[in-house]
Amino acid sequence: MVSNSQGTENIQFQTEVSQLLHLVIHSLYSNKEIFLRELISNASDANDKLRFTALNNNSLYGNDSELRINVDIDQEKKTITISDNGIGMSREDIVDNLGTIAKSGTKEFLAKLTGDAAKDSNLIGQFGVGFYSAFIVADKVTVCTRKAGLNANEAIEWESSGESNYTIKNITKDSRGTDVILHIKKDEQEFLSDYKVRSVITKYSDHIAWPVNMQKLISSDDKQEKASEKASEKEYEVVNKAKAMWALAKKDITEQDYIQFYKHIAHDISDPAIWSHNRVEGKTEYTTLLYLPQNAPFDIGNREQKHGLHLYVKRVFIMDNADQFLPNYLRFVKGLIDSNDLPLNISREILQSNAIVNTIKNALTKKVLSLIDKLSEDQDKYASFWNEFGSILREGIVEDFSNKESIAKLLRFKTTSSKSEDELFSFADYLARVKNKQENIYYLTASSYGTAKSSPHLELFNSKGIEVILFTDRIDEWVVNHLDSFEGKKLQSITHGELQDDLLGKEQDDLKESKEELKPNIEKIYKVLGNKVKSVRESKRLTTSPACLVADEGEMSREMIKILEATGQPAPKALPTLEINCKHPLIKKIIAEDKEEQLNDWINLVFEQAILAEGGLLEEPGKFVSRLNKLLLQLSA
């Protein structure tokens, strides 16, 4: 029973929240019946949380220990009410949970919106605003809630029409838990049909572990008699299966069951890309149901964002976002684990140092990597998955030494054989095309695909038909520093050190003949550049460009230095080596130049061109432009 008290407070939504509400109501859910799934999922979560909290405080149950979810339709008032007798909310809880939407990420979410309803609809599952789906079918939503352990007169009513504000006031509520009352719009009254609501519950919420009850259907002969009964004497029947789905045998679970359970547990409207359901028996016993999503949440790049599996112990919900069972680079995985070997009152602190947890974590990590490998058998699906989660998965090369080889097999990247920026290959693809005498896997790191593709460092490799991997993600610099080989072949940067003799043919003989002859000119160039370079040498790798910059073997790349500087971190002041192509007309002109001022300008221009060619930034771009203009005018005179 609920009764009203005085003292209504009117509170404005934040601007961003109002925008989101408008989007949810008018665009995001193309399938309107999804609102019922979302609200029942929330009620299920509330029951789970009460059962866990009550492990240490059984008095929270009072005289009502049978947890349930009721769905009531009132034809006269045109309302649907979803009720639970779970944990409930206090005034502070309801302001935090219903007065704001994802407080830390609203602006980032809005920035992703395109204005295209079809595209924007995919974002709802990435942002988690399921409660507000109620406004798709309701022009007003009333929430009456009382937190377990509080007195009847400490209950709260929250109400909003989904526009610019909501009201909140104290009420009296006899029972704990939450009632969500939807005042159905005139054009959505198909949802006041008992048959329609039952079919939606069966379709989307059959797997919920708590009974979802509705009033018993009655025959026409009994209607008059039943109509006279009091509301407190309503007869309910369970509409769903009300079993922990993950505890069922696989043969008893349909593909649609798995998909709907994923949408319940992940609050995602998209189907999962793939899933794995396993029961492990032996020294450690547990059941897992793991899903790979299709779409990354908007904040997936935030390593501090809450993530993890739902943890159950002997089918009792313990916590969500249990991040101790998977490494951080697999934070996109959704699902649950139900353990028989952990204590029911386990806490996050105990999980951190629990030997059983470490055993499970090692096994689950291998299971997920195997699941990703299975997904990679479908090239189209895996290409989509990689675009969403590739940058996150690559973190594993740095973080997870024991599984580094398995993760490396899953990596995808562009190479000089890619016909477009979208064509990606694996290490296996690369090795399948390697020529017999090639000893290394060659790669180049750059800030973008365009910069990498046009790098002068590729010239010799392109001329000899040697494929080079093009790493263009920022994390790739860390990846190659931790992945020194793959299947026995060394990963070799083409921008570091001198090229091996086995890459050179006739070029090697030509270099030997010209080395002594060029020595004075190389010294002249080095003298002009002074402390800008470590050394100057004739290049083995250039065929059409005048010059390029090279780092010493084992030295931090210039790309890594740029990344560190961009993030405000200290970077070593390593000087590059300038390699010159003595066959290039510009280098020949420099060698022949006898006017000191012009010689200095030409040498500096070539050095600055080399910086720009690798996507670098000039320390004094104004001087570069002035020098270039002066030389152009001299040439045209």
pLDDT digits (tens, 9 = 90+) for 220-231: 555 555 555 544
407 Cβ neighbours under 8 A, 6+ residues apart: 369, 393, 394, 396, 397, 400
Q: Which CATH superfamily is domain 2-240 in?
A: Histidine kinase-like ATPase, C-terminal domain (3.30.565.10)
Lowest mean pLDDT among 98-112, 136-150, 291-305: 98-112
Which of 94-103, 202-211, 548-557, 600-609 holds the top average pLDDT? 600-609
Write the burial class of residue 380 (CB in 10 Å: 0-12 exposed, 13-18 middle, 19+ buried): exposed
Average pLDDT of the residues in 330-351? 86
Instruction: Report yes or no: 26 and 188 within 8 Å, Cβ to Cβ.
Output: no
pLDDT (tens digit per residue) in 79-90? 999 999 999 999
Percent of the chain with pLDDT over 90: 50
The CATH class of the 501-636 domain is mainly alpha
Question: Could you say which of 1.10.287.40, 3.40.50.720, 3.40.50.300, 3.30.230.80 is the CATH number of the domain covering 247-382?
Answer: 3.30.230.80
The model's confidence at residue 513, banded by pLDDT at 50, 70 and 90, is: low
Strand partners, 445: 471
- How many CB atoms lie under 10 A from the CB of residue 439? 13
Q: Are strands 440-445 and 469-471 parallel, antiparallel or unpaired?
A: parallel
The overall pTM is greater than 0.85? no
Average pLDDT of the residues in 519-529? 88
Look up residue 420 and give its amino acid.
Answer: S
More confident residue, 407 or 14: 407
CA 39 → CA 35, 509, 518, distances in Å?
A: 6, 76, 78
Helix ranges (H only) for 464-614 are 476-482, 506-529, 558-566, 585-592, 596-613
CA 530 → CA 63, 360, 467, 575, distances in Å?
A: 86, 58, 35, 11
* Angle formed at CA 362 by CA 357 and CA 367, multiple of 5 degrees: 120
Please report how many Cα atoms fall inside a 13 Å half-sphere around the Cα of residue 118, on the Cβ side.
0
* Angle formed at CA 70 by CA 64 and CA 72, multiple of 5 degrees: 135
- How many CB atoms lie under 10 A from the CB of residue 68? 19
- Domain ranges within the chain, ordered by starting residue: 2-240, 247-382, 501-636
57 Cβ neighbours under 8 A, 6+ residues apart: 149
Q: Enter the DSSP assignment of 25.
A: I
pLDDT (tens digit per residue) in 162-193? 877 889 999 999 999 999 999 999 999 999 99
User: Could you identify the residue written with the tokens 């994923």?
Assistant: 262
Percent of the chain with pLDDT over 70: 84
4 by DSSP, 3-state: which? Answer: strand
Angle between helices 506-529 and 596-613 (to 10 degrees): 120
